[in-house]
Structure 1
Amino acid sequence: MRRAAIALEHATWGPVGFLNYTAAHHNFYDDLLEEFADCQLCLVDPETDYPVAVACCVPVACSGPDELPAEGWDWMVERAAARRGGRANMLGALAISVPTVHRGKGHARTMIRALRDLSGRMGLDGLIAPVRPTRKDAHPLVPIGDYVNWVDDKGRIFDPWLRAHLSEGGRLVRPCERSMVVEEPLGFWETWAGRELEASGDFLIDGALVPISVDPTRRIGRYEEPNVWVAYGGGGSLH
């Protein structure tokens, strides 16, 4: 099951695999999944005995959802790693992975509910998640603060993944503009872009939510992915 879950996660996030190169992901992510194995959830198809969705999370300590920082995913991973063996008061959702073939069946919302239930069983105060808006990559030049205020023709929040979280009882707290930070040489980004890149200005690659900024002197590209903090429940005393 572990191998199947890893394969499913890789299949889901492969097109934006550059996100695996944040310092927090490289230094801590795999070890945290091992250490908190009981926090990693699989939704299994009973006919195939194979997972169709995976949710990864870690217990974290924070003073409350309303005080979450401008950092997001990286911050949560680093904080979980720093508090190993210490107290936690919230469950931090790192990813819900549903491959394309299994989307549109309600599996992602099932995993949101499963994470909320897990938080309750662990005696924590709630769930926090740096949510990656699924339609933001089509609007990379729009500031995340503006994007979260968009609505569709029915008056609902525009982004379907944010809308799903709201439908399950989540609350939008604030954008986290530096949720995942990847800083790599220009050649790294050329590999992902599949083309040569100029070192004289910012550029876009498929899947990125914002442009990658370039340091022309060092020929380094820096990607600061914005996510949106969503909270279920509240903060409180640490356990």
Structure 2
Amino acid sequence: MLEQYADYQLCLVNEETGYPVAVANCVPVPCSGPDDLPPEGWDWLLETAAKPKGPHNMLGALAISVPAIHRSKGYARKMIRALLDLAEAKGLHGLVAPVRPSAKAHHPWVSIDDYISWTDHEGRIYDPWLRSHLSSGGKLVGPCERSMVVHEPLPFWETWAKQTFDETGAYVLDGVLTPVEIDVACQYGRYEEPNVWVAYAA
């Protein structure tokens, strides 16, 4: 997929060291507008880019990645700006992003609707990554509750969690934004990661 859209993948390189300090992955998609964005989010972007039903008119952001050693240096915001510049250069109408709220993993039992209603002591949206998007000009559209769905056999989850699951139920694993539903009888687990749609005009 990314090879198909190689000219939509961005990398920020430190001029002195020659090493990458940030990466942004995105794909062009047909989209009638922010009001029609679906609850599938990240999965929808991949599926729609692979089999578009109409001309590409919007840029869909899949990820912005900054190594831990380079965080808090403004690189993520530079990549947001670079994505907006790319959308404009490609003649697209804007940018949509199923944003993974970075601090949600600390509150896995809180619904995504409640979580995005939280504010900090200054009245800003609570989540720092969502806050970065909004301060960069993005508009919060709303949750995409099933942005990334992972449905895998039980051994997959036991390998990830480094534990065995003897009872059916909801489990909080390291890094998840919401609990993983484990079904011991079916020997399967399902994770539906909620993200938040953010839209930018070109």
The bucket for the TM-score relative to the shorter chain is: over 0.9
Does the aligned pair in 1 maintain the 2:154–2:184 contact within 8 Å? Answer: no
Does the aligned pair in 1 maintain the 2:182–2:189 contact within 8 Å? Answer: yes
Structure 1: which amino acid aligns with 2:61?
Answer: A
- Write the distance in 1 (CA, Å) between the matches of 2:168 and 2:5: 43
Residues 65-84 of structure 1: pairs in structure 2 closer than 5 A: 65-83=34-52
Runs of 4+ in 1 over 6 A off after TM superposition: none
2:23: which partner in 1?
54
1:12: which partner in 2?
none
1:59 deviates by 0.3
Helix, strand or coil for the counterpart of 1:176? strand
- Write the distance in 2 (CA, Å) between the matches of 1:182 and 1:78: 15
- Write the distance in 2 (CA, Å) between the matches of 1:120 and 1:59: 12
- Write the distance in 2 (CA, Å) between the matches of 1:201 and 1:43: 42
2:148: which partner in 1?
180
Q: Percent sequence identity over matched residues?
A: 64
Q: Provide, for residues 114-158 of structure 1, a one-character-per-residue CA deviation record: whole Å limited to 9, x for no partner.
A: 000100000000000000000000000000000001001111100
2:167: which partner in 1?
199
Q: Which has the higher helix share?
A: 1
1:171 deviates by 0.3
Residues 90-239 of structure 1: pairs in structure 2 closer than 5 A: 90-233=58-201
RMSD: 1.2
Structure 1 unaligned segments of length 5 or more: list them. 1-31, 235-239
Helix, strand or coil for the counterpart of 2:79? helix
Helix, strand or coil for the counterpart of 1:34? coil
Q: Which has the higher strand share?
A: 2
Does the aligned pair in 2 maintain the 1:186–1:199 contact within 8 Å? Answer: no
Helix, strand or coil for the counterpart of 1:145? helix
- Write the distance in 2 (CA, Å) between the matches of 1:180 and 1:41: 22
1:50 deviates by 1.4
Residues 34-53 of structure 1: pairs in structure 2 closer than 5 A: 34-53=3-22
1:48 deviates by 1.1
Helix, strand or coil for the counterpart of 2:148? strand
1:33 aligns with 2:2: yes
Structure 2 unaligned segments of length 5 or more: list them. none
1:200 deviates by 1.8
Helix, strand or coil for the counterpart of 1:58? strand
Structure 2: which amino acid aligns with 1:52?
Answer: V
- Write the distance in 2 (CA, Å) between the matches of 1:121 and 1:198: 53
Q: Provide, for residues 23-45 of structure 1, a one-character-per-residue CA deviation record: whole Å limited to 9, x for no partner.
A: xxxxxxxxx21011111001000
Structure 2: which amino acid aligns with 1:89?
Answer: N
Helix, strand or coil for the counterpart of 1:202? strand
Helix, strand or coil for the counterpart of 1:137? helix
Does the aligned pair in 2 maintain the 1:199–1:219 contact within 8 Å? Answer: no
- Write the distance in 2 (CA, Å) between the matches of 1:190 and 1:36: 34
Moved more, 135-144 or 42-51: 42-51
Does the aligned pair in 2 maintain the 1:144–1:177 contact within 8 Å? Answer: yes
Moved more, 209-218 or 66-75: 209-218
Helix, strand or coil for the counterpart of 1:117? helix
- Write the distance in 2 (CA, Å) between the matches of 1:100 and 1:56: 18
- Write the distance in 1 (CA, Å) between the matches of 2:172 and 2:108: 8
